[in-house]
């Protein structure tokens, strides 16, 4: 088991990352179930990739967006998870609060943002270990058309993900 340290006295292990990503994956499964945009099995697959990238220090954020009208449709709801490696001041929440609506022709867009250490050598090493062939995108994840509507923090021993929710 690997460990990583942050400045100060906060230390976390890969087990802490697993605990936090498990909550994110639970959210993703709830979104899958409520929207029918993807299957729960596919949500688990995405969660496995998120965990692997996080454990290797390559994950900066995860953005989930529900669109109606297919891949190029209208944004209905969104959630952004931002990695925080010094999350000692955060209070951990339980997963949930992501009962998203069923919409016509639903599409769930998932965009991962990587840390600067995820260079071409790291991409080559990781590509055979990931379940999904993640592709670069220029799609904005600012969600300017959706009001921010809360969020939650998921943390374990100083490693966390801050969730920001968008949409009414």
Structural domain includes residue 52: yes
- 118: tokens are 């995820």
Q: Which domain holds residue 41?
A: 3-136+146-166
Total H helices, total E strands in the chain: 3, 7
For position 92, which CATH number holds?
A: 3.30.900.10
Domain count, the chain: 1
Predicted pLDDT of residue 96 = 76
This prediction has a pTM of 0.90
* CA dist., res. 135 & res. 58, Å (int): 15
* CA dist., res. 43 & res. 16, Å (int): 20
The 10s digit of each residue's pLDDT in 23-39 is 999 999 999 999 999 99
Structural domain includes residue 141: no
**What's the Cα-to-Cα distance from 65 to each of 24, 32, 33, 84, 164, rounded to whole Å?**
14, 11, 15, 21, 12
Contact 146, 77 (CB under 8 A): yes
């Amino acid at each position: 088991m690997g460990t990583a340290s942050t400045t100060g006295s906060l230390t976390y292990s890969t087990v802490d990352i697993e605990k936090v990503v498990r909550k994110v994956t639970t959210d993703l499964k709830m979104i899958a179930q409520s929207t029918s945009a993807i299957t729960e099995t596919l949500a688990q697959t995405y969660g496995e990739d998120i965990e692997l990238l996080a454990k290797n220090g390559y994950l900066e954020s995860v953005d989930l967006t529900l669109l109606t009208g297919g891949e190029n449709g209208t944004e209905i709801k969104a959630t952004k998870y931002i990695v925080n490696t010094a999350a000692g001041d955060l209070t951990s929440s339980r997963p949930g609060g992501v009962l998203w609506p069923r919409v016509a022709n639903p599409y769930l867009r998932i965009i991962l943002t990587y840390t600067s250490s995820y260079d071409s050598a790291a991409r080559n090493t990781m590509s055979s270990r990931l379940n999904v062939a993640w592709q670069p995108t220029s799609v904005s994840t600012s969600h300017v058309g959706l009001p921010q509507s809360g969020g939650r923090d998921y943390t374990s021993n100083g490693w966390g993900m801050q969730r920001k929710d968008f949409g009414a």
